[in-house]
Every structure is written in structure tokens, then in C-alpha cells.
Amino acid sequence: MNFKNKNSLLKLTSLSLSILTAFSATALVGCSQTDAKAALQKAKDLYEKGNIEEAEYQLVLYLQDFPSDIEANILLGDWYSTDGNDKSLVYYRKAAKYTEYDENSLNYNTTSTLLSANVQSFTVKPAAKYTKSMTVSFSSNLFQVDKDSENGKIYKTDEQLDESDCKTTKWFSVNNSQKNISVYGKINCALWQFKNKDGENTYYEDDADFNSYSSIRYTNKAYSTAEIPEDAVSARLTYYDPSKEDTINVDEGVYIEYGSFIQGYSNSSTQTFTIPDLSNDDYVEYKDGKWTLYSNGTQTALEFDKISDNSFYMSVAGDLIGELDYTTSEAAENKVDKSKKYGISYKADSTRFACKRTDDAVNMNFNYKIDDEWANTGANDFDNAYPWCEMKRCNVSVKDNKKTVTYEGDSNYKEDGSNGNVMVEIPKFYTKRTVKDGYENISISGEKYDGYQVDPAFIGSDGKEADHIYVGAYFGSINEGDKILSVSQTYPEVKMLYKNTLSAAEKNGKGYSELDYVTYSALQKLFMIETGNINSSSVFSGVTADYYFYEDENKSAFAIVDAEKSNTIILGANTFTSRLAEGDSISIFSDWEEYKNTSEYQREIESITRDSSKNIIVTFSGDPVDIKTGKTAISNIPIKNGKTDGIDYCTGITDRGNGKSPFKYRGIENLYGSVMTILSNANFTKQEFNYSTADGSTYTLNADIPFQKEGFSDIDNINRKYAIKSMAYDSDNPLVMLPSKLGNGASALTSYGDYWLQYSSSKSATTRYIAIGGANDNFQLAGLFHMRAMIDADSNDTKELNYIGSRIMYR
């Protein structure tokens, strides 16, 4: 379309604008349809007579009262266009806004959509007489945006960047059918601008720290998330500021992903096609992978690429958006097919943590609940994928060596222990893991293929394959008979000695045991493939930012005011006491060593307030106690079981803030964080890793696993040196994932994001057993792969076991 330029531009003075407003208020408001038609015709007559300015003025007045008149908006747009006035686009857009569109259509009102199947064909045509600079974009759920970046920094809503050496992306299309958008990779700042379909900018600054070595707290982030404005069609962001020092050297690229967390992707590209300007009956057709322009009775082939079958999203943008009517292939039926394979692939020695989805997992979406709302747009596709779709909560009761299973939803199902332990049933599956050409590849299927093996978790004590195994939904608590239970509304047992833990789990009956290594390894792979992410704490923070009295050398949480028989303790304000929050599980004592797993020591914070001196006033549950200044202390303890019971979906998190949020994964509460869990049937001796399956078969890993003794006293040091970078691979034991490299760019925010400790020298003959998951004060270094080979089964020293607990299983 060509806009003609003339010198006669309509200029309204402030006086004429005032007259216009007054006229509108008196002359047209409430007028009859006959009067409205007469006013419209008057404007047309004036225009025919050459009284252009008066005609435009009359039509503006008319449209103030009848803004949805499409014909009148187009007419005024035409007049302004002929007159060379840029306001023409305003009225063409208004006409496009009020146009009626087909359901399967992208247009001025609906500029984006999430695709449920591949696009087969579409046509693009004007909605309001013309299109101008219209683009059509297709993207996966992840695409790179830092190529050809510009120098300069975004300042609020200004279009012009400043003249700094910061790096800012060019404008890229966004899909406003999604709630949120995230950026990760080589970033150390995040200043967002969004542009709407009328060319107006909005601004958002994420003032967190990004990719800094100096902290493992949740104020230091690996990615930035922004809310997408409802009418946004494009965005850009400033992502790198050279003045910020000590930034982790992330391997490659800056990537955009839709949603509030980073998950697996199918490809990392976006396609944007610029449509030729169309007018009247012109249109562009896409069919059978080919693009054709139809204009003035002629056909012209457009040299555009075929649209990728891995496209997740489709969107339109431009100065004047037309209508795009589309058809998609028939969506695949959501039914369980055990023969499908679901996999991930990722660079084995990289700081990146998002994985490429492979096999039948391509274009699948993961989602979860935050309290009672979905975290992202779209369903969790793994609800129809085996084995995830058949993981379900249940009660398991064993009497006279006979198992009874009662599933959640049954009237007899209970979470209080009255009908047996609360467990999660996991169906048998087959697993394959390879490391090839520098990439980790992991895949799961319900059927056995070449290179796949039955996951060792399903090898029973008789050597046969079990159809199901069961994992405790909650951390272990101990009843009066010294039996470890998995029951809601109980406090996790801590200070647990290795041998006692194993025997207490077995007291539940034949088939019960403490969670073993091969089962935990299976859970790791289920989590990674479903989320498409190897850095679990970037998905769920868990309960990992609590205050732990024992590790605070200054003992910052002592009482500062005496009180007799009280349920209130007053504390000084500091970085440690600031971690306490309403609902926390806590203990009141004089020394952590006196803590016992009894109700006397197990309490919850009922409220937190501050006095006029900013001191922290904590009110807690339980019997009142005498509070002594400088002697009575408070500490978080592992959070009470059942905090996620109110979430009405199998996977979700309570929205209490980063590092203070219990979560559940497929019904298993707090798979990591809050309590470090003892694993059975695995150990290190002289730096060799040994593990066994339930039938007693024992295996030794042929790989060098790093050992070190650095604890959490120097956070900056361990964040640089002891986070997991890559995993060892033994072709004889391919499913075993233990660290082969630490540091080298890995941190709490990159790679696996977890801490590794093998607490022995290479010459030590002492057998060391394993605890996993990270404690409640380990922040972002606590996650799915946080492992410590440090437990001496022959030691009665509970000092190093203060935060060690249990989770039972049944096979």
C-alpha cells in the first residue's frame, strides 16, 4: 500500500479540541440512529464538496460516539491517507479491531496462539482494506535472541537506546497467548521492553542479580521472567552490562522461552516471514509448504521457507495487521501408548541446563500447579505419557506378607496412616543412557528396545522384574514401635543413624526398605525427562532457604528478651532471622544437640511481627516454655509432612517464596531439600562406587569420581569449585550418574546446579554411605543431584547427621 503525501495536514488547536469535546458531549451523545446517519452523510457531503478539514472533523465527532462503525473508520482512514496524515493507521486499526473474524484466525484482536498440531495451510488477507509491514512468526518454545545484538541500554519506554556498552537484543515477536516469558543464558541483567500492536512500549526491570558466583541465594538468578502484556506483539531486552563483575561465564547464547520456568525444548529457532503489503482483494496463501501471492489476478511464488514442524507458537505483528485464517493437522489422540520413547539430550560438559526433547517427547509440554493455579499456559502432556501417567498415590499395607494397595480417590484411602503408608506407585519401565559425541542422551519407554534395559529399580529380591515399585510420598517419621512411616501431618525424623534407619524401614513388613540408590536414580531420570531440565532447583526451589542454628557460628537466633511460660520469642533482626517465616517448622532449645524427634521440640511459627525497634517477634505452637536471653534459641527443622496436600494436582508447589516452598513431584513431596535422605544399597570404599539391586547383585562403577572435603563454610568457594559440571559414564553401568567433573563454570545456577561431597580420601578403607537432596539451608546447591558420600555406618556421632532423614520404599 502507498500513502500519498500532501502538504495539507489537519492541525487541531487546543481550542478546537475543546470545542470538539463539547460538541460531542451535547450534539451526538444519545442521538437517534436517524441523526447518526445524517451526521455521517453530512461528513461525506462535505468531503465531496472539497471541504476536507470540516469533513474529517465531522467524522471524528461521529466516531467518538460510534467507534465500532467499521465503514466509517475505514473511510476516515482513507481520507487521512489521501491527505498524507499518519493518523490514517489509527482508524484502519480501529476498523480491524471491530471486524468479525473466523474462530481459527489470527488478527488485530488475537495476535498469537499456541499450536496443538502442525500448521497445514493458511491465507493472509487485509482486515481493514490494507496490511502494512505485517509479519507472521513461528517459534518453538525456545529461541535464541542475542545474534546481531545492539550496543546500548533500554531506558524505560524510550525507543532510543543509550550510548553505553551494554548489549540489547533487536525486537523479536512474542506470543501474548502465554502468561510469561523467560530469558536465560549469557545474561547478567534484564531490562524488558514490550511493544503493543499500536506501537506503544511498556517497561519492566528485573532488579535481581544474575549468574553471579558470589551468592547461592535465590536473589541470584539463572533466568529472568517477565509477565507478557495482553496486547504485546514484540519485545526486546538489555541482557548484558559490562560494569557488573564476577559474572559466571555461561557457555553460549541468550535464549527466550515461554513460561515462568525453563523446561525442555524441541528446537531453538524462530521463523519470521514479512508479508508483502496487501490491499483490497490481495491475499497470500501457504499450502503444501509453498507460499503464493495473489494480486490483481496474478499469482507470484514467494521464496519463503517451509514452516517447521516443531513450531509451538504462531503470531502476527505489523503496522497494520490483517487476518490470517489457518488450518492445522489433526491433533494426535491423547491415549497411553507404552511403546513410545521419551527422551532428552544435552551437552555433557556445558553450563546450560535446558535439554532438547527427543524421540516421542518432541513438542511435549510440562506444567505444574502453584497452589491452585497452573504455572504456565497449556496442559502437562506427560499426563498421557507412560510411565508418568500411571504414577499415582496410594496406601500400601502389608499384613502376613500380603500387600494391599488402596488408590487415592477410593473411599478407604487415608493419608494419616490408618490404612497403611502413603506411597507413590511407579510402573515398570525401560531406560537407555548414552554419552555420544559430547552429548548425554537419556530415554525411557514402556517397552524394551535395543540398548534399553529394565530399570534396575524394578529388579525384585527374587531377581525377577517387578511390575510396580512404591516410594514414600513423605519423609519418614517414626511411630512408637520404632517403625519408619510415610504419613501426612508428621514431622520428619532426623539425626538418623544408617543401620537404625535400614532396620526401622524394614519393620513395616516384607518388601519394605529404605529408599535405595537404583530407585532414586530412576526418579532422577523421570524428573529430568519430564521437566527437560537437569538443574532441578531452577524448576522447584523446595525448602532450602531455612535458618539452621547449628551452622551459624554467631548463633544469631538467640532470644534478646526473657519470658516465663511463653509462646513468643523475640529476636534481633539479621540476615539469619530474616529467613524465618509464618508456617515454618521450628524448634525452641538451648543447643541443637538436645533436639529430639518428639512433640516437645517440634513446633510451627504461627505469626511473625516486628516491634518499634525492628526486632522480630515470633509466636509458636506447642506448650509454653521459659525464654532466657542469650540461652534460648530458635531454629528451623525439616518442614512438617503434608504441606502440599492442598494442591489438587500431582505436581505443584506452595507459593511461599524462593527457598521456602514445599513441592511435590508426581505425588512425592519434597524429593529434595528440607531433609537429606539416606540411600541404601550404595557406598564408596577407597573412592570406588558400589551399588546393588534388590536381589543382592553388586556392581562397581568403572569411573573416577572426584573426592573432596570442602563443607559449606565458604559458600563462594564451593559455588565455584564443587558444583557438578558433568557426569561419568561406564558402558557396563550406563544408568549410573555420578559426577566426573566439578567446577569449571558449573555453579548453583548452571549445569546441574548441585553440590557434590565425597568425604574421604582415596586411601581410606572406611565405607561411606550416601545422603541425597540437600538440607533445608543449602539454598540453590540443594537439588536432585545434591549427594554426599559421608555417612559412617559404624559411627554413633550424630553431629554430622543432624539433617539426615529417611524415605521408605516398597518393592
User: Model confidence over 674-702: pLDDT tens digits?
Assistant: 999 999 999 998 889 999 999 999 999 99
CA distance 578 to 659: 13
| Residue boundaries of the structural domains of the chain | 14-98, 105-137+272-328, 141-265, 469-542+647-811, 549-636
Which pLDDT belongs to residue 500?
A: 93
Phi-psi region of 149 (alpha: psi -120 to 50; beta: other; left: phi over 0): beta
Predicted pLDDT of residue 759: 72
What pLDDT band is residue 772 in, cutting at 50, 70 and 90? very high
The percentage of residues in the chain with a pLDDT greater than 90, rounded to a whole number, is 80
Q: pLDDT band at residue 246, thresholds of 50, 70 and 90?
A: confident
Range 44-61 average pLDDT = 93
Concatenate the DSSP letters of all residues of 171-188 into one string: PEE--TTSSEEEEEES-S
pLDDT band per the 50, 70, 90 thresholds, residue 467 = very high
Interior CA angle at 700 toward 698 and 701, to 5°?
Answer: 140
Q: For residue 776, give the 3-state DSSP assignment.
A: coil
CA 615 – CA 571 distance, rounded (Å):
6
Q: Which fold has domain 141-265?
A: Jelly Rolls (2.60.120)
Dist CA 36 CA 209 (whole Å) = 58
> β-strand 756-758 against 768-772: which pairing, if any?
unpaired
Q: How does residue 708 score in pLDDT terms, banded at 50, 70 and 90?
A: confident
Alpha helices in 490-624 (DSSP H): 498-506, 517-531
Grid cell 465503514 in the structure block, residue: 71
Mean pLDDT throughout 38-66? 92
Q: Residue 738 class from Cβ within 10 Å (0-12 exposed, 13-18 middle, 19+ buried)?
A: buried
Query: What's the whole-number mean pLDDT along residues 189-214?
Result: 95
Could you give the count of Cα atoms lying within 13 Å of 256 in the half-sphere of its Cβ?
A: 31
Q: What is the pLDDT, as a whole number, of residue 658?
A: 87
Answer yes or no: is pLDDT of 20 > 70: no
Query: Which pLDDT score, from 0 to 100, does residue 270 have?
Result: 85
Q: DSSP string spanning 498-532?
A: HHHHHHHHHTT-TTEEEPBHHHHHHHHHHHHHHHT
Please write the tens of the pLDDT for every residue from 602-647: 999 999 999 999 999 999 999 999 999 999 999 999 999 999 999 9
Residue 709 has pLDDT above 80, yes or no: no
Can you tell me which residue has the cell 559425541?
437
Q: Are the beta carbons of 190 and 183 closer than 8 angstroms?
A: yes
SS3 content of the chain, % helix, strand, coil (to 5): 15, 35, 50
- Closest alpha carbon to 285 in 263, 265, 307, 269: 307
All three cell numbers of 630, joined, read: 542469650
Is residue 766 a contact partner of residue 683, using CB atoms and an 8 Å limit? no
pLDDT in tens, 275-311: 999 999 999 999 999 999 999 999 999 999 999 988 8
CB atoms within 10 A of CB 54: 14
Is the confidence at residue 654, as pLDDT, over 90?
yes
Q: What is the pLDDT confidence band of residue 715, given thresholds at 50, 70 and 90?
A: confident
> Lowest-confidence range among 125-139, 230-244, 636-650, 707-721?
707-721
pLDDT tens-digit readout, 745-763: 999 999 999 999 987 655 6
Q: Go through the chain and tell me how many residues it has.
A: 811
Q: In what order do the strands lie in the sheet with 119-125?
A: 105-106, 323-328, 119-125, 283-287, 290-295, 298-302
pLDDT of residue 663: 98
Q: What is the pTM of this model?
A: 0.90
The confidence score (pLDDT) of residue 252 equals: 85
Taking the C-alpha atoms of residue 734 and residue 518, their distance in angstroms, rounded to an integer, is 12
Closest CA to 691 of 479, 412, 360, 459: 459
The predicted structure's pLDDT at residue 798: 60
Task: Report d(CA 230, CA 306) in Å as an integer.
Answer: 29
Indicate if the pLDDT at residue 651 is higher than 80: yes
Find out whether 784 and 754 touch, Cβ atoms under 8 Å: yes
Enumerate residues 6+ apart whose C-beta is below 8 A from 25.
Answer: none
Q: Cis omega before residue 387 (within 30°)?
A: yes
Separation between Cα atoms, residue 468 and residue 390, nearest integer Å = 10
Residue 24 has pLDDT above 70, yes or no: no
Give me Rg for the CA atoms of the chain.
Answer: 32
Cβ contacts of 373 within 8 Å, gap of 6 or more: none
Q: For the chain, what is the mean pLDDT?
A: 91
Angle at 640 between CA 595 and CA 794, to 5 degrees: 45
How many of the other CB atoms lie within 10 Å of CB of 803? 24
What backbone torsions phi and psi does residue 89 show, to the nearest 5 degrees?
A: -60, -35
Q: Examine domains 14-98 and 549-636 and report if their fold is the same.
A: no
**DSSP annotation string for 238-306:** EEE-TT--SB---SS-EEEEESSS---BS---EEEEEPPP-BTT-EEEEETTEEEEEETTEEEEE--PP
3-state secondary structure of 21: helix
- Up-side HSE of residue 532: CA atoms within 13 Å toward CB? 27
DSSP-based three-state secondary structure for 213: coil
**Which class does domain 14-98 fall in?**
mainly alpha
DSSP assignment letter at 412 = T
For residue 539, which of 360, 354, 320 has the smallest C-alpha distance?
A: 354
Structural contact between residues 74 and 280, judged by C-beta atoms closer than 8 angstroms: no
Per-residue pLDDT tens digits for 114-149: 888 889 999 999 999 999 999 999 988 899 999 999
**CA–CA distance, 243 with 255 (Å, rounded to integer):** 22
Over the stretch 480-496, which tens digit does the pLDDT of each residue have? 789 999 999 999 999 98
pLDDT at 429 over 90: yes
The answer to whether residues 804 and 678 touch, using CB atoms and an 8 Å cutoff, is: yes
Runs of H (alpha helix) within 599-734: 715-721
CA atoms of 224 and 237, how far apart (whole Å): 11
Does the structural domain 549-636 have CATH classification 1.10.1060? no
Residue 95: which residues within 8 A CB-CB, separation 6 or more? 70, 73, 74, 77, 127, 128, 129
Cα dist from 575 to 463, 524, 572, 632, 662, whole Å: 53, 33, 10, 19, 21
Taking the C-alpha atoms of residue 166 and residue 136, their distance in angstroms, rounded to an integer, is 29
